């Protein structure tokens, strides 16, 4: 296709220069400011096993999320029975996530079954007993629906955690599901594991409830909590003089007026009065209308802002608040306020998560691995180079040049795609070195055979490349397919190996077949040599 040597040289030079251009920021991280903007920001990232970081396995408490769903369904069934004027004595969610309904007669059960068929297809009757003239019916969620909900909860948790990690600024995180209810998280380069765990594990359920000012907080603390109200702990506050932190309690109305699902944005700001950080939140259009109505109906009352069951503030509503803006204040550090804003923007987790496994890879281990990996690549290149020069003379030097270009182009391609280099990835590069010269060995051996038959160097080179091409293509394509499957179905380090191997195979075919052919064509066409050093 490319008969002109000059055109082929231009193509090869363009590929090598482009690779060097993308690779330079990774090799020289501290470029002078005057030229820094001329180079791309893409670079090769080091994986968890090379630069250290965190390894977490979380378990999503799907049962907890199902409790909330069953609770809402129980209330809906109750409302439906009242709407249809069906007599009943009680509807409640039971501890085993079923719904118990007490009916006064069998006739009422027929009405209940009709209501379930019309409005609650996800519920089925688990059992029904008649005792003392009363019908006690137990409802449960259908198994198929429970399985769908559990999968949805894990998927939603995965997406929320991914959003939080992205906003936290971790490069190349690995967040993948494991089994039915577990999530594997790898965060390369994280220096503060506690902060990362707090950020990922926070449920971030934001609620707004009215403070119960009609009843006594002291009486509630003694155990006399009035019906329709709840006691809730406040965020720890610092004393004005001593600076010591103290616990506070609030008596709140049980009903939630607004939740964080209506949030549009959350940002950290600094107060003008005390210079303390706070989180400014903004509701979406529907949330703003609800907030406007809630504040308008409750002027001069206290509205508590609650996050994960902890009251952060309970300011007095002095006037109707339109526009959908509110503030979450507390004794925040700037980092705490920033992390709170991140979890609010990313949304709340649909269910609490529990840490099953937490490991931290130290940077000293990562640096040691990097040093050994680089050493193995250099030693591999030297040994392969010595063999090629010893066995194939000057043609061996051509193979070595192709090998060096192969490494430059491979690393440049990895930098272009923001790829992550892992320890198995380094193994993939070492394997690529062997495969790169393997192609040249095949070509050289075919050319030698042609020379032994008495052909000219030019004819031997042409026949060598032509006869070896299909073998090289077959070998590399099968290996490439294996690498693609490894990338698709592998995880973590296995994917890193598959990435370097895939890029390495493509690049080695380019350098071993296309680049080396330019040199041989130049010496056999233009210089018309009598003998070939091979």
Give the integer Cα–Cα distance in Å for 107 and 126. Answer: 18
Q: Which of 53, 58, 342 is nearest to 186 (CA)?
A: 53
pLDDT score, position 65: 78
pLDDT score, position 419: 78
Q: What are phi and psi of 370, to 5 degrees?
A: -60, -45
DSSP assignment of 22-89: HHHHHH-SS--HHHHTTS-S--PEE-HHHH-EEEEEEEE-HHHHHHHHHHHHHHHHHHHHHHTT---S
**pLDDT value at 14 more than 90:** yes
Give the integer Cα–Cα distance in Å for 155 and 8. Answer: 49
When pLDDT is cut at 50, 70 and 90, the band that residue 450 belongs to is confident
Q: What's the chain's length in residues?
A: 534
Q: Count the helix, strand and coil residues of the chain and give each as a percent rounded to the nearest 5.
A: 55, 20, 25
Give the integer Cα–Cα distance in Å for 60 and 125. Answer: 28
Give the integer Cα–Cα distance in Å for 185 and 167. Answer: 15
Q: Which residues pair with 177 in a beta bridge?
A: 183
The H helix count followed by the E strand count for the chain is 15, 21
Helix (H, G, I), strand (E, B) or coil at 506: helix
107 burial type by CB count under 10 A (0-12 exposed, 13-18 middle, 19+ buried): exposed
Helix (H, G, I), strand (E, B) or coil at 245: strand
Stretch 448-469: mean pLDDT, rounded?
Answer: 86
pLDDT score, position 17: 93
> Quick check: 174 and 353 in contact, CB under 8 A?
no
**pLDDT value at 312 more than 60:** yes
Q: Which of 246, 257, 240 is nearest to 291 (CA)?
A: 257
Q: Which of 282, 271, 272 is nearest to 329 (CA)?
A: 271
**pLDDT value at 1 more than 50:** no
pLDDT score, position 13: 92
Stretch 244-256: mean pLDDT, rounded?
Answer: 77
pLDDT score, position 2: 47
Of 319-333, 451-465, 502-516, where does mean pLDDT reach its minimum?
Answer: 319-333
Q: For 55-79, write each residue's pLDDT tens digit.
A: 888 888 888 778 877 877 887 888 8
DSSP assignment of 178-194: ETTTEEEEEEET-S-HH
Q: Which residues pair with 420 in a beta bridge?
A: 45
Q: In 84-170, where does DSSP find H-type helix?
A: 106-119, 143-168
Give the integer Cα–Cα distance in Å for 343 and 416. Answer: 31
pLDDT > 90 fraction of the chain, expressed in percent and rounded: 3
Q: For 169-203, write each residue's pLDDT tens digit.
A: 776 677 888 878 888 888 877 777 788 888 887 77
pLDDT score, position 240: 47
Helix (H, G, I), strand (E, B) or coil at 97: coil
pTM of the model: 0.59
> Quick check: 276 and 324 in contact, CB under 8 A?
no
- Residue 492, phi-psi category: left (phi > 0), alpha (psi -120 to 50), beta (remainder): left
pLDDT score, position 241: 46
When pLDDT is cut at 50, 70 and 90, the band that residue 369 belongs to is low
């Amino acid at each position: 296709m490319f008969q002109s040597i000059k055109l082929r040289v231009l193509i090869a030079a363009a590929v090598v220069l482009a690779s060097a251009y993308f690779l330079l920021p990774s090799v020289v991280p501290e470029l002078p400011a005057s030229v820094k903007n001329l180079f791309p920001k893409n670079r090769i990232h080091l994986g968890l096993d090379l630069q250290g970081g965190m390894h977490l396995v979380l378990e999503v408490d799907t049962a907890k999320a199902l409790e909330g769903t069953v609770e809402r369904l129980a209330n809906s069934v109750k409302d439906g029975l009242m709407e249809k004027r069906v007599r009943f004595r009680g509807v409640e969610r039971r501890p085993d996530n079923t719904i118990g309904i007490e009916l006064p007669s069998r006739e009422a059960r027929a009405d209940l079954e009709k209501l379930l068929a019309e409005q609650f297809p996800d519920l089925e009757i688990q059992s029904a007993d008649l005792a003392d003239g009363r019908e006690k019916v137990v409802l449960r969620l259908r198994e198929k629906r429970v399985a769908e909900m559990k999968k949805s909860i894990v998927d939603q948790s995965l997406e929320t955690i991914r959003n939080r990690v992205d906003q936290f600024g971790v490069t190349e995180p690995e967040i993948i599901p494991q089994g039915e209810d577990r999530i594997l998280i790898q965060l390369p380069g994280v220096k503060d594991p506690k902060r990362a765990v707090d950020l990922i594990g926070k449920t971030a359920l934001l609620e707004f409830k009215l403070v119960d000012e009609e009843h006594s907080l002291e009486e509630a603390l003694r155990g006399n909590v009035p019906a329709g109200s709840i006691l809730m702990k406040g965020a720890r506050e610092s004393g004005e003089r001593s600076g010591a932190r103290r616990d506070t309690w609030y008596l709140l109305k049980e009903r939630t007026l607004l939740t964080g699902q209506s949030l549009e944005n959350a940002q950290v700001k600094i107060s003008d009065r005390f210079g303390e950080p706070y989180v400014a939140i903004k509701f979406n259009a529907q949330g703003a209308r609800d907030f406007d109505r809630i504040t308008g109906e409750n002027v001069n009352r206290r509205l508590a802002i609650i996050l994960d069951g902890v009251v952060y503030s309970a300011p007095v509503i002095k006037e109707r608040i339109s526009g959908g803006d509110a503030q979450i204040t507390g004794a925040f550090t700037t980092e705490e306020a920033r992390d709170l804003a991140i979890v609010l923007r990313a949304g709340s987790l649909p269910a609490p998560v529990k840490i099953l496994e937490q490991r931290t890879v130290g940077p000293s281990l990562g640096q040691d691995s990097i040093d050994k990996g680089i050493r193995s690549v250099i030693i591999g290149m030297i040994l392969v180079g010595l063999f090629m020069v010893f066995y194939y003379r000057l043609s061996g030097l051509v193979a070595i040049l192709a090998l060096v270009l192969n490494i430059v182009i491979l690393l440049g391609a990895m930098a272009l795609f923001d790829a992550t280099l892992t320890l198995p990835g380094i193994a993939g590069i070492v394997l690529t070195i062997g495969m790169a010269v393997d192609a040249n060995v095949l070509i050289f051996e075919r050319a030698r055979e042609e020379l032994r038959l008495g052909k000219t160097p030019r004819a031997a080179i042409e026949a060598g490349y032509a006869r070896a091409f299909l073998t090289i293509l077959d070998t590399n394509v099968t290996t490439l397919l294996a690498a693609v499957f490894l990338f698709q179905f592998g995880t973590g380090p296995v994917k890193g190996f598959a990435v370097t191997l895939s890029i390495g195979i493509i690049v080695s075919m380019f350098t071993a077949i296309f680049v080396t052919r330019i040199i041989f064509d130049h010496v056999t066409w233009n210089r018309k040599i009598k003998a070939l050093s091979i």
